[in-house]
Structure 1
Amino acid sequence: MVDCPHLRSIAPMKTSYLALFYRSWPRLASKALQATTANLPNSFAIGLFCVAALCAAPVPLKAQDQDPFYYEIRPLFENGEQLGQVYRFRNVGLIQCLNGDLLAFVEARHDVSDHSEKDVLMRRSKDRGTTWGPYEAVWGHLEEDHAGWKDPAPVVDKATGRLFYFMNTNESEKRLFYMTSDDSGYTWSDPIRIPDSLLRPEWKRWRNNPGPAIQLKVGKYKHRMLIPGHIVTHEDRHFSVVWYSDDHGESWQVSETAVQGSDEVSIIELSDGRVLMNIRSHGELDPGLDPAYRNFMYSDNGGESWYGLETKRDLPWESGHGSLAKMELGDGNLLFAIHPLVVKRKDLTCFVSYDEGKTWPYKKLLHEIGGYSSTIVLDNYDIAMSHNHGFRGEHGIDFVRFNLSWLTDGKEHANPTVQPLPQAPESKATDRAIWREDFELADRTILDGGSTAWKILGASNAPIGAAVSNGKFRTSDAGGEIVWQTGRIDIGDAKRISIAVDAIKIGKFNNSDSLRIYYRLGDGDEKLIESLSFSSDPQEDFETYRIRKHDINVSGNQQAQVIIRSRINGDDKTLYWDRVEVARAE
């Protein structure tokens, strides 16, 4: 195939209206029939309604059953007030979960600046993007948390079913975090930090890149998760890297750097198991990088190192991050590269490769104005893409969906039936919850007399310094020690238990501040689980902690308590804790 001007002959917006009518036909036909049959004999009316019902009834969707030329575009995140906050939306990450739900994550900026405070919001579609649920807050809502949570990068571990969401923060772009969900994004862990021990001495900051991360499917490194990103040295030189995990996110490593001048990247696995890196160039460039085009590098060891720099002169490029996606077909893979072609991020264009990125002979305009994008291929072989609308996201985030027939003007079709999504394996966890507190209570609650009873002891002004806030228990300077404790928890005939607490500190803590977690069995003494020590490093003003005590021998006791003692000195710092759990560990 060659690039010809007539390949842009179908206007995307006009095609959108046709596609929307086609999708809406059963609903419209049903309403029309209601009016038409109002004065008809019952038997005839019933017959017509049966026909309408058959037309509207859902059937297993196949790629070949869709519109021959299908394209639609719609607003996904609209700038303005959402969830009580005025937001400016930039940069999006798409992922399809193992239950089929399509999730879209976004930077919800409090201001237009790249360095503004940002929250993480999400929307969910249960019909591959035809309709979308409400805006949902994922992270960033704690009152003292003013970080800029940026660069959404989701990935699903298909071996465990766990959804990972990667992000970094504004302050120095030194801090890289991820959250996890075991129920397709309905509930989330607190942010977990990638250890700074991976940050090499010559690097001054690092960040992941927006858009979906990947999990390898074939070969020696099958199930390895790869998170694309880049680092900046103390000399302000840029290098692309990936973070990778071989143990389902329990630990992480960072790759060797790609070529100097490589910056934001997108990655894809090729059919032979190699990883392709699609590079945005920035700063002081290696002589082999041509900033007028996209540049590629490859890895044959699962992303641990990079080789083979190539300039793709059939992928012209102006600026900004580009997305990359793969469609796996029986007779070979198609790759899609999407990025703007014109200055100030105009003419967002999709390029197609039939030889796994060696050449890119075909392109088609997707939208006249569009910047950073996130692209995935859905289980029904639709291509789903979301992008910034406008040079600086002036018009929020759009969602675009189209099929291969529309993209190639009927020259190619995706005929396979819907790809079966991997089934999430059954949990092998041996712990079974006996008691759990998630603090899903009204703000300022200071005791719970219900089935998960707990109370506060200690400081006289505890109602001011300690209470439920935003679905967590919050403590600040209360003029003394705050003691939070559960009631006596009936553990029945359990022989061993485990105890878990998640905690967050915000602010510049020092040695005078403390958080200690204890347990008590029966009428026995308090036993220490963990005493947290806090760093005074200004870079460590936001930290999360996962406190776990496994395999506690209860020695015939039938009751247990959890006690949390905190002491904070100063108005500029806060502790939160959540997910306090006692479980069987047998």
Structure 2
Amino acid sequence: MQPIRFSTALVLVTISIFAGIAPPVQGRYVIDPVVEEEIEVWSDANSIESVDSRVPIIVPSSTGKLVALSEGRRDGSDSSLKFLLIRRSGDNGLTWNPTDVVLEDPMDSPGGLNLGAILTDYTTGKMMVVYSHCAHNCEIPKSYLVESSDEGETWGDPVELNVTQGIRQFSPGPGYGIQKVHEPYKGRLIFCGHGGTISADGVFCICSDDHGKTWKRHIDLPSIPFNHTYIEGELAPDENQVVELKNGSLLFTIRNQLYYETRARIFALSKDGGETIDLTSIQVPETMPDSAEASGMIYLEKYDLVLHSNAFYSAARMNMTLSWSYDEGATWSWSDHLQIWPGPSGYSCLTPIPNRPGYVGLLFEKGPLDGKESTKFVTFTIINLRPKWQKD
């Protein structure tokens, strides 16, 4: 009688079943996103005495409420005196509380505040906003932090941060800060920004390992060469957004201020979890055109998906687009994008919608189709990703 032979695959499957471990299912999530709602958040009519609402940022609170802020500019310029405006949503962005003011510049101030980034510490429940002040008018601009313990309803007094040693200034964001959820440095709070001037620009981050009590600068990527006369085509990394990947590394999308290599976004990695940026990781993909502005990015670990928002056009701030990467930002395909708005498009910030799985929100500056490059509104777009598991 011949012995009965079983295939190796069958034996492994049988062992895994009896051991209570299901065999791994090979595949990935793919998305087919569509816009479901668009809600106007700020315009001239509702921005409390300001002429222009700019630089919108947004983050979920510890319970999933959405908290959005923007600059209310008195005369429309970067250096103008401003209000720090806020609106909150408790229904996943469908409706928003009336605009309130977190703080405002004194009328005798030499320059205005400049947003800025917002962060939620999910351990303590606190929300924090970091911003610079007098970035365009003062020889030595300052950085400040303001906190809320009630999901953005009320805010404390600003506290100055002394984090500019060796650089002229620290201008956070624009966007949101992160709290690391993986090792190394699990629990660390990170705000990233830039140096604020063309000649001495660069990516600079500040980190806290004690829930915001103290801050130290890390992860510097200065312009190359640093602190010299402006020459187009050199590496001058500027405004940026950072996300944490599932292995604890950090991925940056960076404004390419001097159009290094081409008119496209700069991407870079911190492979040591937030200590340094790996120079060998820097890439400028032509599949991510950009005209040098702030953009948005989030990483959805459940779907192993990086989402990116920007004015997807190299010649002007037009064509707000959602792009996505299935390989943690290593590549960006021309086919994997969704046009949100073809007209004037400015700064943008992406957010997950925690209480609505499979959905994300996009807060961005938007202008009318006949308005050339001017942006007149800040809108919140709700996007259904329609994620679907696809087997290999």
Shorter-chain TM range is: 0.7 to 0.9
Moved more, 377-386 or 303-312: 303-312
Amino acid at match of 1:74: I
Say whether residues 1:199 and 2:164 are aligned partners: yes
User: Given that residues 81 and 107 in structure 2 are in contact (C-alpha distance below 8 angstroms), is that contact kept between their aligned partners in structure 1?
Assistant: no
Say whether residues 1:270 and 2:245 are aligned partners: yes
Amino acid at match of 1:374: C
User: Given that residues 81 and 87 in structure 1 are in contact (C-alpha distance below 8 angstroms), is that contact kept between their aligned partners in structure 2?
Assistant: no
Partner of 2:180: 216
Say whether residues 1:340 and 2:311 are aligned partners: yes
Say whether residues 1:354 and 2:321 are aligned partners: no
Partner of 2:290: 317
Relative to structure 1, the CA distance from residue 220 to residue 90 in structure 2 (aligned partners, 3 Å threshold; closer, same or farther) is: same
Offset from partner CA, 1:187-228 (integer Å, 9 cap, x none): 111111111xx3234x22331121111111111211111111
Q: CA deviation at 1:146?
A: 6.5
Equivalent residue in structure 1 for 2:363, among 364, 368, 386 = 386
| Within-5 A mapping of 1:26-37 | none
Q: CA deviation at 1:246?
A: 0.8
**Which runs of 5 or more structure 2 residues have no equivalent in the other structure?**
1-32, 224-235
Q: CA deviation at 1:129?
A: 0.7
Say whether residues 1:127 and 2:91 are aligned partners: yes
User: Given that residues 88 and 393 in structure 1 are in contact (C-alpha distance below 8 angstroms), is that contact kept between their aligned partners in structure 2?
Assistant: no
Q: CA deviation at 1:141?
A: 6.1
Say whether residues 1:250 and 2:231 are aligned partners: no
Equivalent residue in structure 2 for 1:76, among 38, 41, 52 = 41
State TM-score, norm by structure 1. Answer: 0.54
Relative to structure 1, the CA distance from residue 109 to residue 393 in structure 2 (aligned partners, 3 Å threshold; closer, same or farther) is: farther
Partner of 1:183: 150
Higher relative contact order (CA 8 A, sep 6+): 2
User: Given that residues 265 and 284 in structure 2 are in contact (C-alpha distance below 8 angstroms), is that contact kept between their aligned partners in structure 1?
Assistant: yes
Equivalent residue in structure 2 for 1:136, among 94, 100, 105 = 100
CA RMSD of aligned residues (A): 2.4
Amino acid at match of 2:384: N
Secondary structure of the 1:257 match is strand
- Separation in 1, partners of 2:330, 2:237: 19
User: Given that residues 311 and 318 in structure 2 are in contact (C-alpha distance below 8 angstroms), is that contact kept between their aligned partners in structure 1?
Assistant: yes
User: Given that residues 71 and 403 in structure 1 are in contact (C-alpha distance below 8 angstroms), is that contact kept between their aligned partners in structure 2?
Assistant: yes
Amino acid at match of 2:377: G
Say whether residues 1:281 and 2:253 are aligned partners: no
Relative to structure 1, the CA distance from residue 89 to residue 146 in structure 2 (aligned partners, 3 Å threshold; closer, same or farther) is: farther
Equivalent residue in structure 2 for 1:373, among 348, 358, 363 = 348
Offset from partner CA, 1:220-252 (integer Å, 9 cap, x none): 21111111111157x823211111111100100
- Separation in 2, partners of 1:341, 1:149: 28
Relative to structure 1, the CA distance from residue 182 to residue 232 in structure 2 (aligned partners, 3 Å threshold; closer, same or farther) is: closer
User: Given that residues 123 and 134 in structure 1 are in contact (C-alpha distance below 8 angstroms), is that contact kept between their aligned partners in structure 2?
Assistant: yes
- Structure with the higher helix share, 1 or 2: 1
User: Given that residues 345 and 375 in structure 2 are in contact (C-alpha distance below 8 angstroms), is that contact kept between their aligned partners in structure 1?
Assistant: no
Relative to structure 1, the CA distance from residue 280 to residue 82 in structure 2 (aligned partners, 3 Å threshold; closer, same or farther) is: closer
Moved more, 273-282 or 303-312: 303-312
Q: CA deviation at 1:398?
A: 1.0
Amino acid at match of 1:400: T
Partner of 2:11: none
Amino acid at match of 2:327: D
Say whether residues 1:397 and 2:378 are aligned partners: yes
Amino acid at match of 2:41: L
Q: CA deviation at 1:318?
A: 2.3
User: Given that residues 267 and 282 in structure 2 are in contact (C-alpha distance below 8 angstroms), is that contact kept between their aligned partners in structure 1?
Assistant: yes
User: Given that residues 224 and 302 in structure 1 are in contact (C-alpha distance below 8 angstroms), is that contact kept between their aligned partners in structure 2?
Assistant: no
Which of structures 1 and 2 has the bigger CA Rg?
1
Q: CA deviation at 1:400?
A: 0.7
User: Given that residues 174 and 207 in structure 1 are in contact (C-alpha distance below 8 angstroms), is that contact kept between their aligned partners in structure 2?
Assistant: no
Amino acid at match of 1:176: S
Q: CA deviation at 1:316?
A: 2.0
User: Given that residues 239 and 254 in structure 2 are in contact (C-alpha distance below 8 angstroms), is that contact kept between their aligned partners in structure 1?
Assistant: yes
**Which runs of 5 or more structure 1 residues have no equivalent in the other structure?**
1-67, 406-411, 416-586
Amino acid at match of 1:338: S
Equivalent residue in structure 1 for 2:276, among 300, 305, 316 = 305
Secondary structure of the 1:160 match is coil
User: Given that residues 206 and 229 in structure 1 are in contact (C-alpha distance below 8 angstroms), is that contact kept between their aligned partners in structure 2?
Assistant: yes
- Separation in 1, partners of 2:349, 2:209: 25
User: Given that residues 142 and 160 in structure 2 are in contact (C-alpha distance below 8 angstroms), is that contact kept between their aligned partners in structure 1?
Assistant: yes
Secondary structure of the 1:229 match is strand
Relative to structure 1, the CA distance from residue 82 to residue 321 in structure 2 (aligned partners, 3 Å threshold; closer, same or farther) is: closer
Relative to structure 1, the CA distance from residue 147 to residue 259 in structure 2 (aligned partners, 3 Å threshold; closer, same or farther) is: closer
User: Given that residues 404 and 413 in structure 1 are in contact (C-alpha distance below 8 angstroms), is that contact kept between their aligned partners in structure 2?
Assistant: no
Equivalent residue in structure 2 for 1:296, among 267, 285, 304 = 267
Relative to structure 1, the CA distance from residue 392 to residue 177 in structure 2 (aligned partners, 3 Å threshold; closer, same or farther) is: farther
| Within-5 A mapping of 1:31-110 | 69-80=34-45, 82-83=47-48, 85-110=49-74
Amino acid at match of 1:134: P
Equivalent residue in structure 2 for 1:118, among 66, 82, 85 = 82
Q: CA deviation at 1:178?
A: 1.0
User: Given that residues 240 and 259 in structure 1 are in contact (C-alpha distance below 8 angstroms), is that contact kept between their aligned partners in structure 2?
Assistant: yes
Amino acid at match of 2:273: G
Offset from partner CA, 1:449-494 (integer Å, 9 cap, x none): xxxxxxxxxxxxxxxxxxxxxxxxxxxxxxxxxxxxxxxxxxxxxx
Relative to structure 1, the CA distance from residue 346 to residue 232 in structure 2 (aligned partners, 3 Å threshold; closer, same or farther) is: closer
Relative to structure 1, the CA distance from residue 310 to residue 118 in structure 2 (aligned partners, 3 Å threshold; closer, same or farther) is: same
Q: CA deviation at 1:396?
A: 2.1
Amino acid at match of 1:354: Y
Amino acid at match of 1:345: R
Q: CA deviation at 1:304?
A: 2.1
Q: CA deviation at 1:310?
A: 1.8
Relative to structure 1, the CA distance from residue 414 to residue 241 in structure 2 (aligned partners, 3 Å threshold; closer, same or farther) is: farther
Secondary structure of the 1:123 match is strand
Amino acid at match of 1:313: E
User: Given that residues 351 and 364 in structure 1 are in contact (C-alpha distance below 8 angstroms), is that contact kept between their aligned partners in structure 2?
Assistant: yes
Secondary structure of the 1:371 match is strand
- Separation in 1, partners of 2:337, 2:324: 6
Q: Percent identity?
A: 25
The count of corresponding residues between Structure 1 and Structure 2 is 332
Secondary structure of the 1:273 match is coil
